[in-house]
Amino acid sequence: MFTNLIQIRFFLVTILCIFFLNTAQAQEDPEFFKLRKVLSMKANKLNASLKLIEDPEAEDSIQKTDSIYGKYWDTLKMNPYKSYSLKYPFNIDFDTIQYASPIDKKKVVTSRYGWRWGRAHRGIDIDLVTGDEVRAMLDGKVRFVGYNGGHGRTVVVRHANGLETVYAHLSKYKVKVNENVKMGQVLGKGGTTGNARGSHLHLEVRYKGVTINPEYLFDFNKDNSIRAKDIWITRNRVNPVNHVSTRKSKMPVYNTREDALNGVQKERVVYIIRKGDTLGKIARRHRLSITQLCRINSIRRNSILRIGQRLIIN
């Protein structure tokens, strides 16, 4: 008990000493406060930069929720994200594991996402009869209602996770831009407008202007299931060259960033250089730009290619 009291007294005296020394120093030297201020500012700055290193996505995730219906909200353009450059892999979060079927009958996919007739088919075609109702797959807000070239009459709905669903070849609209819609709400009626051979729904799934293979996110079965709540997307799942419209692609779901990064290693397609090849030829054949091809392979545009050399294409 006695020793404790001594300790407490010693402690109090020490505190008082430090306090007096500090004020004495401050009175003696006005630079002291300035210095302390500068030091604390530097410490704050350091903390802030450490925070950024710890969580580079932090700022982005705040922006994500705040500006989904604000930024790049253009009701006149089908794709307002032309200037946006998306970094891979990126993820889509769903707050549900079920979507509402875009049509009221069994979904028959007549053409899939991928390469078709030497061109990219950036959505899937679901069979319907002109006049059938077409419904919103998820809650959201209508961003675009209008005629868009090959798509014909089109409705675009943006959802809270940033995803956009695109419903094309419609015959009639049942919604207006800026309207909030619930999943399952009728958006319009199916048809053949635009470049459609026979009546069907051309359905696209986009994120920041980039189309994703819809079958990577959604199962077009009778359960209307979303394949996972958090899905990571790699270039493979986006690039139509990696898919063909006549066959369903095998696409295991990446649930984490690590999964996606590991997947990218396996997804890589290697090309072995043959006589007469040039970077331009290889790039063209694989729908890449020379710059992309050089970046993936860490080579210069003027590098000399050797026969038998391997280049990563994906």
Interactions with Zn ion, residue window 176-205 (CB under 5 A): 202
In 3D, which of 241, 216, 191, 204 has the Cα closest to residue 89? 216
**Helix, strand, or coil here: 16?**
helix
**Neighbouring C-beta atoms of residue 166, cutoff 10 Å:** 23
Interactions with Zn ion, residue window 105-124 (CB under 5 A): 123
- Choose between 210 and 279: whose C-beta lies nearer to Zn ion: 210
- Minimum CB–partner distance for residue 193 and Zn ion (Å): 12
Tell whether residue 125 is a contact of Zn ion (CB under 5 A): yes
- Choose between 125 and 164: whose C-beta lies nearer to Zn ion: 125
| Radius of gyration of the chain from its Cα atoms, rounded to whole angstroms | 29
Joined tokens for residue 145: 């209602």
- Choose between 125 and 127: whose C-beta lies nearer to Zn ion: 125
Tell whether residue 206 is a contact of Zn ion (CB under 5 A): no
- Choose between 166 and 283: whose C-beta lies nearer to Zn ion: 166
- Minimum CB–partner distance for residue 160 and Zn ion (Å): 26
Pattern of binders to Zn ion over 153-172, x per CB under 5 A? --------------------
Q: Taking the C-alpha atoms of 70, 73, 79 and 80 in order, what is their torsion angle to the nearest 10 degrees?
A: -80
- Minimum CB–partner distance for residue 128 and Zn ion (Å): 12
In 3D, which of 277, 305, 308, 280 has the Cα closest to residue 293? 280
Q: Tell me the residue number closest to Zn ion, measured at CB.
A: 202
- Minimum CB–partner distance for residue 200 and Zn ion (Å): 7
- Choose between 199 and 255: whose C-beta lies nearer to Zn ion: 199
- Minimum CB–partner distance for residue 112 and Zn ion (Å): 9
Q: Taking the C-alpha atoms of 206, 212, 216 and 219 in order, what is their torsion angle to the nearest 10 degrees?
A: 40
**Neighbouring C-beta atoms of residue 72, cutoff 10 Å:** 19
Q: How far apart are alpha carbons 110 and 277 in whole angstroms?
A: 37
Q: Where along the sequence are the contacts to Zn ion (CB under 5 A)?
A: 123, 125, 202
